[in-house]
Amino acid sequence: METECTPTQLEFQGLGRRDVVAKFDGGQISSDGGGLLLREVERKTGIIRRLSECFRDFRDPEAIEHTVEDLLGQRIYGLALGYEDLNDHDRLRLDHLLAVLVNKEDPTGCGRAMARDKGKPLASSSTLNRLELTHWSADHSSRYKKIVAQVGKIDNLLVDLYLDAHDEAPRQIWLDLDATDDPLHGSQEGRFFHGYYKNYCYLPLYIFAGEHLLCARLREANQDASAGSVEELERIVAQIRQRWPATQIIIRADSGFCREEIMAWCEANGVDFLLGLAKNKRLNALMHHEMAQAKEQAEATQAAARVFKDFSYRTRASWSRARRVVGKAEHLRGGANPRYVVTSLAQDTYEARSLYEDHYCARGDMENRIKEQQLDLFADRTSSHGMRANQNRLYFSSFAYVMLCALRRIGLQGTELAKAQCGTVRTRLLKIGAQVRISVRKVWVSLAECYPYAELFAQVLHNLQTRPPTYAPG
C-alpha cells in the first residue's frame, strides 16, 4: 500500500508530547543572506559588469526585461552560492534576495510585463541558457538565441582582473600551468577516451598566478597536455607586459609541459621557466653517485634522504640546446625515487635544493585552486552537447571563482578565513538564513539571530566598504 503524503506539510519525529511539523510557507526567507557580501565585491571590482561587455546582444531592446548583465549576475551569483544547475533557477527566479544581488529595481517582480511572470523577478532556466547556447554566428535575424560570447574579450578580462588586483607592479610573478580531466557522461561534442585518466573526458588547460585564474581553456582529450600552451602564454604575457614591463615572469609546470616548443618560446621572449623533467636511463645514470649517497644516508638514519645535483643536460634529438637540470636523488622506505627539473633560472641565484623544494614544489598549490574550481564552483558541469556551450559554462564557473577569490582577498584579509577554500567561505559567510521584506523605501534583510559568525561578517563588510574600487565604469 502506497503512503499518502501531503506535500504542503512535513511530519518529523515528535518532541515529547509535541508533534513536529513543517511547511514551505515561510514567505520570502532565503538561505543566502551572505550573498549581499558578493554584491559589495561586485561594486568594488565590476566583475559581472565587465563580463557583460564581452557579449554582443542582438535582441530587440524594446522587448528586453533581463539585460545581459542581469543574466550573468543571476548565473554567477547562483554558482558562487552553490547552485550548479540551470534548473535550480526555475525556483530561484522567485528569490527576492537574489533579485537584490542582481540589482533588479523591482525585486518582487510585480511589475513584469506578462501575467505569467508576475512575482518572478528573475529569468527562468530557458532564458539563462541562451548565454550558453547562442551560436557564434548569431545576429539580429536569429530566432531565439541572440547573445553572443566574445571569447577573446573574456580571455583578456581574466588577465585584466588579475592586473587590477595589484596596487603596484610586482617584481616577479610565477605562472602555473596544468591540465586536468573533466569526466563526461554523455555524447558531448569533442568527447574522447584518455588513457591516463581511464575515462571519457575533456582536458582543460588552466593557468594561474597564485590564486588568480588567468586561463581556463576547454580542450579535447585526444592531445598532449601541453597543447595550446604557447598560444595562451603569448597573449597572457603580452597583456601583462603592457601594464608591467619590468616584472620578471616565470612559468612553472610538471613534466607534461616540458616541451621544446614551450622552452624555446620562453628563451626567445625573455620568460623564465621551471619545468618537471621525466626521468630516463641517461638521467638516472648521471645521478648514480648521488643515488648511492642518498641510499647510504637513508640506511644510516632510517629516514628519507635527499641529495641534489646541478648539471647541464641535452636530449639526443628533441632539445635544441643544453639546459640546466637539477636532479633530486631521493631514497625512501620503498626504494629510490629520483626526480628532475629543467630551468632557465641562474644557478648563482637559485641553489639546487631551494630551487626544487621551495620553488618547484610550490606548484602543488595550483592543484588546490583547480579543485576549488571543479568541486566548489562546478567547473566540471559540462553536460551541454556542444563544446562552445561547455566552454561558456567553464567561463561562468571561472568568474564565480574569481568573485569568491576577490571576497577572500579583500573582505577576509586579516581574518581567520583569509586562506579558507571557496567552499568554506560559502558555508561560513554566504549560507545564512535571512527573511526579506521589501517596502517602497527599503529592503529589510533580517539575518538569523543564531548565526555564529556575526562579528566576522561585520568585519568582512567593513573591509569591503573601505577598500577603494579597482574599477571605474567608462
pLDDT tens, 92-143? 999 999 999 999 999 999 999 899 999 999 999 999 999 999 998 999 999 8
Last residue of a domain, one of 374, 399, 431: 374
Give the CA distances from residue 325 to residues 123, 265, 293, 322, 336, in Å, rounded to whole numbers and listed in that order: 56, 18, 19, 9, 19
Asked whether residue 195 falls in the same domain as residue 270, the answer is yes
pLDDT of amino acid 334: 87
Asked whether residue 203 falls in the same domain as residue 110, the answer is no
Q: Which pairs count as long-range contacts for 446-455, CB under 8 Å and 24+ apart, including other chains?
A: 447/33, 448/33, 453/428, 453/429
184 phi/psi in degrees, rounded to 5: -115, 140
Candidates 64, 86, 198; CA nearest to 133 is 86
Asked whether residue 51 falls in the same domain as residue 120, the answer is yes
Last residue of a domain, one of 323, 348, 374: 374
- Name 260's Cβ contacts closer than 8 Å, sequence gap at least 6: 318, 319, 320
Asked whether residue 354 falls in the same domain as residue 425, the answer is no
Query: What is the C-alpha to C-alpha distance for residues 257 and 203, in angstroms, rounded to an integer?
Result: 14
Assess if residue 405 is contained within a domain: no
Check: CB of residue 233 under 8 Å from CB of residue 153. Answer: no
Assess if residue 400 is contained within a domain: no
Assess if residue 136 is contained within a domain: yes
- Longest CA pairwise span in the chain (Å): 84
Assess if residue 4 is contained within a domain: no
pLDDT of amino acid 178: 97
Number of domains making up the chain: 2
Asked whether residue 182 falls in the same domain as residue 121, the answer is no
**In this structure, how many other beta carbons lie within 10 angstroms of the beta carbon of residue 425?**
23
**In this structure, how many other beta carbons lie within 10 angstroms of the beta carbon of residue 245?**
8
pLDDT of amino acid 25: 84
Asked whether residue 128 falls in the same domain as residue 48, the answer is yes
Predicted confidence pLDDT, tens digits, the chain (474 residues): 445 554 678 999 999 999 999 988 888 999 999 999 999 999 999 999 999 999 999 999 999 999 999 999 999 999 999 999 999 999 999 999 999 999 999 999 999 989 999 999 999 999 999 999 999 899 999 988 999 999 999 999 999 999 999 999 999 999 999 999 999 999 999 999 999 999 999 999 999 999 999 999 999 999 999 999 999 999 999 999 999 999 999 999 999 999 999 999 999 999 999 999 999 999 999 999 999 999 999 999 999 999 999 999 999 999 999 999 999 999 998 899 999 999 999 999 999 999 999 999 999 999 999 999 999 999 999 999 999 999 999 999 999 999 999 999 999 999 999 999 999 999 999 999 999 999 989 999 999 999 999 999 999 999 999 999 987 765
**In this structure, how many other beta carbons lie within 10 angstroms of the beta carbon of residue 323?**
19
Asked whether residue 454 falls in the same domain as residue 352, the answer is no
pLDDT of amino acid 1: 43
Candidates 156, 154, 160, 135; CA nearest to 146 is 135
pLDDT of amino acid 474: 57
Q: What is the C-alpha radius of gyration for the chain, rounded to an integer number of angstroms?
A: 26
- DSSP lists the bridge partners of residue 252 as 176, 274
Assess if residue 409 is contained within a domain: no
Check: CB of residue 315 under 8 Å from CB of residue 380. Answer: no
Asked whether residue 107 falls in the same domain as residue 160, the answer is no
Last residue of a domain, one of 374, 389, 408: 374
Q: What is the CATH number of the domain that holds 257?
A: 3.90.350
Give the side-chain half-sphere CA count within 13 A for 138. Answer: 21
Asked whether residue 100 falls in the same domain as residue 157, the answer is no
Check: CB of residue 445 under 8 Å from CB of residue 435. Answer: yes
Asked whether residue 158 falls in the same domain as residue 277, the answer is yes
Assess if residue 21 is contained within a domain: no
- DSSP lists the bridge partners of residue 248 as 172
Give the side-chain half-sphere CA count within 13 A for 62. Answer: 0
Assess if residue 401 is contained within a domain: no
Query: What is the C-alpha to C-alpha distance for residues 228 and 216, in angstroms, rounded to an integer?
Result: 12
Asked whether residue 293 falls in the same domain as residue 271, the answer is yes
Query: What is the C-alpha to C-alpha distance for residues 54 and 102, in angstroms, rounded to an integer?
Result: 18
Asked whether residue 302 falls in the same domain as residue 247, the answer is yes
Full domain range(s) for residue 69? 29-148+417-466
Give the CA distances from residue 113 to residues 105, 415, 440, in Å, rounded to whole numbers and listed in that order: 14, 45, 20
Three-state DSSP string of the chain: CCCCCCCCCEEEEEECCEEEEECCCCCCEECCCCHHHHHHHHHHHCHHHHHHCCEEECCCHHHCCCCHHHHHHHHHHHHHCCCCCHHHHHHHCCCHHHHHHCCCCCCCCCCCCCHHHCCCCCCCHHHHCHHHHCCCCCCCCCCCCCEEECHHHHHHHHHHHHHHCCCCCCCEEEEEEEECCEECCCCCCCCEEECCCCEEEECCEEEEECCEEEEEECCECCCCCCCCHHHHHHHHHHHHHHHCCCCEEEEEECHHHCCHHHHHHHHHCCCEEEEEECCCHHHHHHCHHHHHHHHHHHHHHCCCEEEEEEEEECCCCCCCCCEEEEEEEEEECCEECCEEEEECCCCCCCCHHHHHHHHHHHHHHHHHHHHHHHHHCCCCCCCCCCHHHHHHHHHHHHHHHHHHHHHHHHHCCCCCCCCCCHHHHHHHHHCCCEEEEECCCCEEEEECCCCCCHHHHHHHHHHHHHCCCCCCCC
- Name 473's Cβ contacts closer than 8 Å, sequence gap at least 6: 46, 49
Query: What is the C-alpha to C-alpha distance for residues 67 and 100, in angstroms, rounded to an integer?
Result: 15
Check: CB of residue 181 under 8 Å from CB of residue 201. Answer: yes
Assess if residue 14 is contained within a domain: no
